[in-house]
Structure 1
Amino acid sequence: MIFLIPLAIWLGTAVCFLAFYNGNPQAFRRSLLTAAIGIFFFIATSTELLSPANLVNTIAIKAAWTILNIALMLLFRLLSKREDVSMVHILKAWRSSGKAFFRETGGLTNAVMLSILGLTCIVAVVATPNNMDSMAYHLSRLGYWIQNENVDHYASHIERSISFSPFSEYVHLHSFLLSGSERAFQLLQWSCLVGILMYISLLVEMLSGSRAAMRMALCFGVTLPIVVLESMTTQNDIVVAFFIVACAFYAFDYVRQTKKLSLILIAAAAALGMMTKGTFAFFVLPFAAYIFFFMIAKPSQWKPLAFLIGGSVIVMLLLNGPFWYRTYQIYESPIGTANKGNKNDISNPANLLSSTAKHVFLHLGFVSPGDRYNRFMASSLERFHQVIGIPLNSPGTGMPFKMNKLNFNEDFAHNFFAMWLIIFSLPILFFIKLSKTARWYTALAFLSFLLFCFFIGYQIYGSRLHISFFLLIAPAIGIVYGSLKVRAVPVILSLLLWFFALPFAVLSTSHPLLSTNWFFEEVFPKINTAFNLNIHVGKGNLNLKQPSILFAEPEKIVWGDYTDQALRMRAYVDSIGAKNIGFNFLESSLDYAYQYVLRAPDRHFEHVLVRNPSRSLENKTFIPDCIIAEHFAGNQISYHGRRYEKKWSTTGTFIYVPVN
C-alpha cells in the first residue's frame, strides 16, 4: 500500500496545476512543491488526530490515505471538467516544461545532478538505516508509537526521543505502516533535497534569470558533502532545510506578486518546519522580518498581514500544540531537553565573534602534507581570538574547537570548497550588478547564518546544522559566480565541486556504495604516503572499513562490528521465549538497533528503571520476561516486586531474567 503516497503526490500535483499554476512556465515545479507541502500537512494533522483515539495503526493509516486519494481524484475530475483539461494534456505540459528546464540547466549540470542524486538514491533505498542519531532517537520512537497505537510520550532513557520535534518521524511512521518496511525511510531526506533544488532554481529565476547562475547554484547545492551524506540518512536537517528554503521563496514570491496562496504556503511551511527541528526559527526569522516590514509599510497589505500572522499562529499551534503540551507535562517546558544544547553566551559581544569564526572555520580544515595547512589555519584562529580578547575555547562559546581534515560521516563531514566559495564571493558582491531583490535575498541569507551563530555555540557536529544556510545561500553563489565575465569559471568550479562530491556519495562510512575496506586498504595508503598526510587508519577507527551495502547483511549494516554479539543476544532472548522485554539503557543507547534485531510477532518493548522525568510514564503493570541492560547493577535487580538475575552478558550488555 506504499503506492498510496506517490499516488497522492501525483494527484495533488495535478490538482495544484489546475487550481493555481496552469499556464505558468514554472507550473510543474510549483505544483509539485505545493502538493508536497500539502501532503506533509496531511501527514502531520492525520497523525495527531488519530493518536488520541489510539488509531495510529495499519488499518487506520491505510484508510486515511485511501480517503485522501479518493478526495484528490474527485477534486481532479471536478477541476479538469471546469478547465476542460485532461490528464493526458497535463502530462504533455509537464513533459514540455521538463524538457525546457533541462535545456536551461545544460548537459554538465544535468550530469552533476543526476549522477549525485542517482547514486544517493540507490544507497537510500538499498541500505538499512544505521545513522547513530537515528538509531538512538529518530527511529527508536517508531516502535513504541506503533505498539501503543498513538504518538503519546512514553518512559524512555533517551530523552531526545520524546522531547525533540517529531515531524520527520511521522512521515517514517506512515511509510512503515503502509509498507511494513524501513525501505522508504531514507527517501524522505533525498526527496526533500530534490525539492530544495527545485526551490533554488525558482529563486535564481526570480532573482536573476541568468542561465549560468542557475547552473552554478544547482551544482553548488547538490554537491555539498554534508548534504550528499545526509540525503541517504533518516536525520532531519535536509527536511527542515526544505521548509526554511520554502518560507524564504514564498516570502519573496509574495513581495513580487502579492498572491494569497504564497501566504498560505508560508504558514503551512512554518508550522511544519517548527515541527521538524528547532533550528528552523533561527534561519527563517530574517525572511519573516522581510515580509513583515514589506507588508506593514503598505496600508493595503495590513489585512493580508493580519491573515498571515493569525493563520500562522493558528496553524502552528494546531500542529505543534499537542506535542508541546505532552512535553510540557513531563518537563514543565514545551521544548523539553532541547534547551540543553550548546547555547551561546550572548552577554559578551566578543563571544559572538568567536562563535561565528569557529562556525566558519569548522568547514575550512583539510588534509595537507604534514598537516601544515590545518596548523596554519588553527594558529590564525588563535590569533583572531587574541585580537578580540578571549580564549579560543572561552566558556559559553560551545565545544572545544577542533580543525577537521576529511570526514565521510554524515555527522561530521564539512563543506570545504563550498565555504571558500562563499568567503571569496563576499568581495565580488560589491563589484557585480545585482537586482535590489537579489541583494536583499543575499543579505538575509547571510543574516540567517549570523543569527544562528548568535544563539548557538560551536559544535563539532555543527556542519549538519549549517545545511540550511548553505542551501539558502546557493542562489546567491550561483548569481555571483555566474555573473563573472570569464564564462569558464562557473564550469570549472562546477566540475571541481562534482569531483569532490562523488566520493561522499559512494564512500560514506555508515553505508558505502563501494567497499571502504577496499579503499582504505588498497587506495588510501598510497595517497597517504605520497602526500605525507600522516593519517593513521588502524584499530582505533575500524568503522572506516566497511563492506559495500550491496553485499552486506542488514544486521551488519545496523550493528557493524558488534553484529555477532547482537545475533547471540537475539538467540538467547529467543531461547527463553521472551515476549515482554524491558530496556535499561544509557541515554546514548542505540535503541532502534536493539528493536531491529529483536523484533518478532507479539514481542513488546518498554523502558524500565528510567532515571529521568519520563519515569512517571512507566507502565506499572508491565512485567518483563527479561531485562536487557546497559547498566550493570550487580547479579540481581528488582523490578515491580520481582527479582531478576543476570544470566547472559557481552561487552556492555547484560540480560536479566526472572528468578522463579
Structure 2
Amino acid sequence: MMFLIPTAMGLATANCYVAFYRNAEQPFRRSLISAAILVFLFIAVSTEVLGLFNLINRVAIAVSWAILDIALAVTWFRLESIHGLTFPTIAKHWLNGTRNFCQELGAFTIAMLAVLSLVTLVVAIAAIPNNQDSLSYHLSRLGYWIQQGNVAHYASHIERSISFSPFSEYVHLYTFLLSGSERYFQLLQWSCLAGVLALVSMIIRLFSNSRAALRIGLCFAATLPIVVLESMTTQNDLVVAFFVLATVFFVFDYIRNNHLASLYLIPLCCAVGMMTKGTFLFYVLPFGTYLLISMLRKPVFRKHIVAFTAASLIFTLALNVPYWYRTYEIFASPVGTISSGNQNTFTGPADYVSSVSKHAFLHLGFVSPGNQYNDFLLNQLRNLHAAMGIPLDVPRLGMPFKMNKLNFNEDFAHNFFGIWLIIFSIPLLIFTRLPKAAKWYGWLTFLSILVFCFFISYQTYGSRLHIPFFLLAAPVVGLTYGSVLSAWSARLLPFLLWVAALPFALLSSAHPFLSTKWFFEKIFPPINSALHLNIRVDAANLNLKQESVFYASPGRLFWGDHWPGTETLLKQVNALNPQKIGFVFTEASFDYAYQFLLRKPGRTFAHVRVTNPSRMLEDPAFQPDVIIAEKNEGAGFDYHEKSYRLTMESDGKWLYVPIK
C-alpha cells in the first residue's frame, strides 16, 4: 500500500504544473514543492480527523489515501481536458527542464552531489533508526498511537513525547502503517533535504542567473556536516528547514513576480511548519514582517492583505490548536514544560551579546595541535564576557559552554567551514553588486539567526537547531562568492566542501556506511597522537567505534557497548512471554528500542508509575505481566492491585514480575 503516497505526489505535481506553473520559471521544481506541501497538509489534517474517530489503523489510512488519489486523478482528467495536456507531454517538459538544470550545474557538480546523495540514501534505507532523540520520543510515540487508535496523549515518563510538535511523526505513522516497515522512516529527512536543495536553487535563480552562484550555493547546502548527518536520521530539523525555505521562497516570489499561488501557499507552510517544530517561527518572523510591510506599501498587494492574514491565522490555529490543547490539559501550557530550560532570560543587553557569541562560537571550534586554536578562541570568548561583566556560564543563558573539536554525531556535529564562509560573506554582501532584493534576502537571513538567539539559549546540541539558518544562508554564500571568485576558484570551492563533507557521510558515529571501529582503532590513533589533537576515541565518546550498518545488529545500533547487558534482560522478558509490558523510564530512555525488540502480535506496552502530570492518563485497568525499569524501584512495589518483586538487574536495568 506504500505506493499510494508516491502516486499522490505524482498526481499532485502534475495538477500543480498544469493549473499554476506550466508557463512559469522552474515549473517542475515549483510543482514538486507545491505538491509536497499539499500532501504534507493532507497528512496533518487526516491524522487529526482520523484520530477523532479512533481510526488510526492500516485500513482507515489506506482508504484515506485511496480517496485522495482518486480525487487527484479526477482533478487531473478535468485539467487534461481543459488544457489539452497529457502525462507524456508534461513528462517531456519536465525531462527537458531537468536536463537544462543539470547542464547549468555541470557534470562535476552533479557527480559530487550524486555521490553524497547516494551514500546517505543507502544508509537511510539500510540502517535501523537509532538516533537518541528518536529512540526516546520521536518514534516511541507511534506504538502508543497505533495501540490506542488515535493520537491522543498518553501517560509517559518522557515528557517530550507528549509535548513536542508531532508532524514528522505523523508522516512516520503513515509510512509504517501502509508499509508495515521502519525502512521508510529516515527517507523523510533525506527527501526534505532534496526539497531544500531544490528551494535553494530556486531562491538563487530569483536573484541571479550565475552558474557559479548556483553551484556554490547548492554545494554549500549539501555539504554542511550537520545536514549530511541529519539526512540519515528520523529527527525533524531538515523537515522544519524545508518549510522555512519554502515560506521564504514564496515570500520573495510573490513580491518579485506577483504569483498569487505563492502568496496562498505561505499559510499552508506556516501551519505545517509550526506543527513540525517551534523554531520555525523564529526563522520566518523577519521574512513575514518584510512581506507585510511590502504588501502595505504597494497598492497591488494591499488588496490581498486581509485575506492572506486571515488564511495564515486560520490554517495555523486550526492545525495546531488540537495538539496544543491536549498538551495544555496535562501541563497547563500548550507547549509543555520540558523545553523551558532552552529559553533565554535576559537582564540586559550584555546577556543578548553573550547568547549570540556562544551560538556563533559553537561552530568555530576545530581540531588543532595541543588544542591551541580552540584554547585561543575560548580565551577570546571569556575576555568578551569579562569585559561585559557577566560570567561565560550562567544558567539563565543556557548550558555550560564547550568548544567543539570534530564530531561525527548528528546531535553535536558543527559547521566549521560553513560558519567562516558565512562570516566572510557579510562584507561581500555589503560591497558586491547584487540586486537589491538579494541584499534584502541576505540581511533578513542574518536577522533570523539574531531572532533565534534572542529566544533560544545556548545548548551543546544547538548546531542542529541552526540548520534552517545555514540553509537560508546557502543562497547568500552562493551569490556573494559567485560574484567575486574567478572561474577556477568557483569550481574549487565546491570540491573542497565536498571533500570535507564525505567523511561525515561515510563515518557517522551512529550509523556508519564504513566501519568506524576500523578507522578509530587503526587509522586515527597515530594521527591523534602525532598532532597532539587530544580527541577521545574510547567508549565514553558516544560509542564512537561502530560496525558498519550493513553488519551491526539492531541491538548493537541501539545500545552500542551496553547491548550485551540489555540483551540478557530482554531474553528473560521474552522467556516469560508477557502480553502486557510496563515501563518505568527516565526522560532519556530508549522507549522505541524496547518496543522494536519486544514487539509481538497482541502484546501491549504502557508507562507505569509515572511521576509527571501525565500520570492522570494512566489506565487503572492496565496490570502488566512484567515491568522493565530504568530507575531502581527497590525490592518491590504495588501497582494497580498487584504486587511486584525484583527478579533481575542487568546493566542499570531492573525487571519486576508479579508476586503470585
Q: 5 Å matches for 1:412-491?
A: 412-491=412-491
Q: TM-score w.r.t. structure 2 length? A: 0.98
1:431 to partner: Cα distance: 1.9
Match for residue 373 of structure 2? 373
Q: CA deviation at 1:472?
A: 0.4
Contact 1:567–1:597, Cα closer than 8 Å, also in 2: no
Q: Which residue of 2 aligns with 1:603?
A: 603
In the alignment, the residues of structure 2 paired with residue 543 and residue 340 of structure 1 have an alpha-carbon distance, to the nearest angstrom, of 29
Offset at 1:539?
4.1
CA contact (8 A) 2:248 2:284 kept: yes
2:360 match? 360
Q: Does residue 403 of structure 1 match 2:375?
A: no
Partners of 1:409 and 1:508 within 8 A in 2: yes
Change (3 A) 1:240 1:542: closer
1:160–1:337 CA contact under 8 A, matched in 2: no
Are 2:402 and 2:460, in contact at CA under 8 Å, matched by a contact in 1? yes
Change in Cα spacing, 1:542 to 1:152, as seen in structure 2 (3 Å) is: closer
The Cα of 1:131 is off from its aligned counterpart by 0.2
Between 66-75 and 381-390, report the one with greater CA deviation.
381-390
Secondary structure, counterpart of 1:656 in structure 2: strand
Q: Match for residue 640 of structure 1?
A: 640
Tell me which amino acid in the other structure corresponds to 2:28.
F
- 1:571 corresponds in structure 2 to 571
Which amino acid counterpart does residue 247 of structure 1 have in structure 2? T
**1: distance between equivalents of 2:495 and 2:381?**
30
Is contact 1:346-1:455 (8 Å) kept? no
Indicate the residue corresponding to 2:532 in structure 1.
532
For 1:11 and 1:335, locate their aligned partners in 2 and report how far apart those are by CA, in whole Å.
36
Which residue of structure 2 aligns with residue 245 of structure 1? 245
Please report how far the alpha carbon of residue 259 of structure 1 lies from its aligned counterpart in structure 2 after TM superposition: 2.4
Query: What is the DSSP-based 3-state SS (H/G/I as helix, E as strand, rest coil) of the residue aligned with 2:466?
Result: helix
Q: Which amino acid aligns with 1:451?
A: V
What is the CA distance between 1:338 and its match in structure 2?
A: 5.1
1:328 aligns with 2:292: no
Cα gap change, 1:542/1:462 in structure 2, threshold over 3 Å: closer, same or farther? closer
Within 5 Å, which residues of 2 pair with 1:124-163? 124-163=124-163
Identity percentage over the alignment?
Answer: 55
How far residue 343 of structure 1 moved from its aligned partner, in angstroms, is 1.3
- Deviation per CA, 1:298-334: give whole Å up to 9, x if none: 3443331111110011111111111011011111111
Aligned 8 A contact 2:189 2:238 in 1: yes
Kept after mapping to 2: 8 A contact 1:566/1:597: no
**Aligned-residue offset at 1:85:** 1.1
Residue in 2 that maps onto 1:623: 623
Q: How many residues align?
A: 660
Amino acid at match of 1:48: E
SS at match of 1:504: helix
CA contact (8 A) 2:584 2:630 kept: yes
User: How many angstroms apart in 1 are the aligned matches of 2:488 and 2:353?
Assistant: 36
Q: What CA distance in whole angstroms lies between the structure 1 residues aligned with 2:659 and 2:378?
A: 58
Worse-superposed segment, 60-69 or 344-353: 344-353
| CA distance in structure 2 between the aligned counterparts of 1:293 and 1:13, rounded to whole angstroms | 32
Question: How far 1:485 moved relative to its partner?
Answer: 4.7
Aligned partners of 1:124 and 1:190 also within 8 Å: yes
Tell me the CA shift for residue 455 of structure 1: 1.2
Q: Is 2:341–2:398's contact at 8 Å kept on the other side of the alignment?
A: no
CA distance in 1, matches of 2:377, 2:601: 55
Structure 1 letter corresponding to 2:192? C
531-540 vs 55-64, which deviates more? 531-540
Q: How big is each residue's C-alpha offset from its partner over 1:585-644, in whole Å with a ceiling of 9 and x where there is no partner?
A: 112111111111111110000111100000000001111111111121221110012101
Q: What is residue 231 of structure 2 aligned with on the other side?
A: 231
Is the CA contact (8 Å cut-off) linking 1:351 and 1:396 kept in structure 2? no
Post-superposition offset of 1:542: 6.7
- How far the C-alpha of 1:526 sits from its partner, in A, is 2.6
* C-alpha distance in structure 1 between counterparts of 2:83 and 2:625, whole Å: 63
How big is the shift at 1:495?
1.3
Query: What amino acid does structure 1 have at the position aligned with 2:266?
Result: I
Query: 1:391-448, CA deviations, whole angstroms, 9 ceiling, x for partnerless residues?
Result: 2123422111111000000000000000001111112222210111001000000000
- Is the Cα contact below 8 Å between 2:566 and 2:651 reproduced in 1? no
SS at match of 1:581: strand
Q: Distance in 2 between matches of 1:338 and 1:300?
A: 45
Aligned AA for 1:610?
V
Give, in whole Å, the separation in 1 of the partners of 2:656 and 2:646: 4
- CA distances 1:286-305 after superposition (whole Å, capped 9, x unpaired): 00001000112234433311
Q: Which residue of 1 aligns with 2:585?
A: 585
Which residue identity is paired with 2:138?
H
Partner of 1:99: 99
Mapped to 1, the partners of 2:339 and 2:517 lie a distance apart of 40
- Tell me how far 1:220 sits from its aligned partner: 0.3
Q: Is the 8 A contact 1:125 1:186 kept in 2?
A: yes
Instruction: Pick which of 528-537 and 426-435 moved more.
Output: 528-537
1:513 matched to which residue of 2? 513
- Which residue of structure 1 aligns with residue 5 of structure 2? 5
Cα deviation per residue 1:328-382 (whole Å; 9 max; x = unaligned)? 1111111112541321123310011111111111001111111111111111111
Say which SS state the counterpart of residue 291 (structure 1) adopts. Answer: helix
Structure 2 residue aligned with 1:504: 504
CA distance in structure 1 between the aligned counterparts of 2:412 and 2:637, rounded to whole angstroms: 39
Contact 2:358 2:458 in 1 (8 A): yes
Say yes or no: does 1:202 pair with 2:241: no
- Does the CA-based 8 Å contact 1:217-1:477 persist in structure 2? yes
The Cα offsets for residues 130-182 of structure 1, whole Å up to 9 and x where unpaired, read as 00000000000100000001000000000000000000000000000001111
RMSD: 1.2
TM-score (norm 1): 0.98
Three-state SS of the structure 2 residue aligned to 1:66 is helix
Gaps of 5+ in 1: none
The separation in 2 between residues aligned to 1:455 and 1:514, in whole angstroms, is: 39
Q: Counterpart amino acid of 2:472?
A: L
Return 376-385 or 506-515, whichever deviates more.
376-385
- 2 CA distance for matches of 1:162 and 1:262? 33
Alignment of 1:273-288 (within 5 A): 273-288=273-288
1:54-203 matches, within 5 Å, as 54-203=54-203
2:431 match: secondary structure: coil
**Cα separation, partners in 2 of 1:560 and 1:536, compared to 1, 3 Å:** closer
Aligned residue for 1:205, secondary structure, equals helix
Conserved? CA contact 1:109–1:218, under 8 Å: no
TM-fit CA distance, 1:557: 1.7
Q: Is the 8 A contact 1:516 1:544 kept in 2?
A: yes
What is the alpha-carbon distance in structure 2 between the residues aligned to residue 224 and residue 172 of structure 1? 25
C-alpha separation between the residues in 2 aligned to 1:337 and 1:28? 43
| Structure 2: runs of 5 or more not aligned | none
